[in-house]
Homo-oligomer: A and B are copies of this chain.
Amino acid sequence: MAIKNSINVGIIGFGTVGTGTARILIENADIIRRRLGAPVVLKKISDLDVKRDRGLKLTGVQLTTKAQEIFIDPEIDVVVELIGGYKPAKDFILEAIKNKKHVVTANKALLAVHGEEIYAAAEQAGVTVGFEASVAGGIPILAAVKNGLAANNIKSIYGIVNGTCNYILTLMTNEGRKFDEVLKEAQAKGYAEADPTFDIEGIDSAHKLAVLAMLAYGTPVKFDDIHTEGISKITPLDIDFAKDLGYKIKLLAITKMVDGEIEARVHPTMLPEEYPIASVDGVFNALSIVGDAVGSTMFYGRGAGDMPTGSAVVSDIIDIGRDILAGCTDRTPVTAFRERRPLKIRKMEDITSCYYLRFSAIDKPGVLSRITGVLGKNNISISSMIQKGRKVDEAVPIVMMTHDAIERDVRKALDEINKMDCVAGATIVIRVEEGKQG
């Protein structure tokens, strides 16, 4: 085999991340070559729109509207898929793999749903799929799970992996404003999309969690396995109660190994405000990983944007380039494990957590004892309670913090409580993370 003297790259998708990736490959060519020992050459970029000026010096880069011109080009070593979505991204990636191209992608939605098929195809073809950019943008978190913490049994991962949600919650917390209002501002500033559903309903976070949990535990974890709740029901009232109790509310992607089963869930979570991850504000992402040897770690940085995400894409290209130049194939498995085991994903009803419960109860004698009675008979014990304001015969908020309880018991108790005539409206439930972080 001829010795390679360059790593040739083609990019499918010349949008935000495609432009950032191209910019890094062009403007940081010197540092990349010095680290790798050979130049990374951006040969081709495909996009439906090749006319728009992206402000880049594209000397020597071929632009095309046909993606297949990239994945069939015999000179291209690495195909970078940055169009996102399921179709035609999946076909492009599988075609590239068939043509023995290494693939780099930032497409968490695709990996969360069709990852197993893609990983298997890559393994069979003897090529690598790099997807560092699919989770938490520029933070090298997948590398940490695959390599840096490889000596550890991962006990848990808690991640703030959606900048839009964290930005909205930060503004709601710091300025006491309502969700709808802050969302509109985030949309105006470009921090939230016109259709924000994927972000605010936790779907994007769940896509990322599927990828992370698969790498952490060496077992397939699919988007459908993940319990997903968003932040649209969080109110300033709950944020205020959280503050009073010493907590902050964050949208967390959580995965844990509990008694040989995996928990994987996305929901608003109350975190003790002294936890490092609780102070991560604005559009920043952060992940706390607890390993049995290393203890508690945290990784923090920008989770989105052209250049941070491009940084992760190019780090994958360099990693693949090192394999190619050293003539080694299949050095690290795409899934981080040589021996994977199908592990059970624990049903949401079976998880154990502490809970914040906010009841809207009519303020009259006997109400508290009826509520606590139902909780008690469902094995839910209370660690603290707050009642603010008194308005006889009107609904007032009563907050109870529970000790560890089983989700199924909580749901059963609330079904009964929510039907009581002295309870006005559905009880608000926010899970509370009280576990030691290493």
Which residues of A come within 8 Å of B, CB atoms?
Answer: 20, 24, 28, 31-38, 132, 137-140, 143-144, 147-153, 218, 276, 279-280, 291-302, 305, 307-308, 310-315, 317-319, 322-323, 325-333, 336-341, 438
Contacts and interface: CB of A to CB of B under 8 A. Distances in A.
Contacts of A313: 151
8 smallest CB-CB distances across A and B, nearest first, come from A140-B148, A37-B338, A328-B328, A151-B314, A138-B294, A297-B301, A293-B311, A298-B300
Given A37-B339, A328-B326, A24 B298 contact: no
Contacts of A322: 331-332
How many identical subunits does the complex contain? 2
B308 A302 contact: no
A301 B310 contact: no
A438 B327 CA distance: 37
Contacts of A151: 24, 28, 31-32, 310-311, 313-315, 317-318
Contacts of A24: 151, 293
Nearest to A148: B140
Given A37-B338, A300-B298, A322-B332, A293 B279 contact: no
Contacts of A339: 33-34, 37
B336 A331 contact: no
Nearest to A307: B293
Nearest to A280: B276
Contacts of A315: 147-151
Nearest to A151: B314
B147 A338 contact: no
Contacts of A312: 148, 294
A290 to B, nearest CB: 10
A294 B276 contact: no
A316 to B, nearest CB: 9
Given A294-B307, A322-B332, 16 more contacts: A31-B151, A31-B152, A33-B339, A35-B218, A35-B338, A36-B338, A37-B339, A38-B338, A144-B148, A147-B147, A148-B315, A151-B311, A292-B307, A295-B302, A323-B331, A326-B329
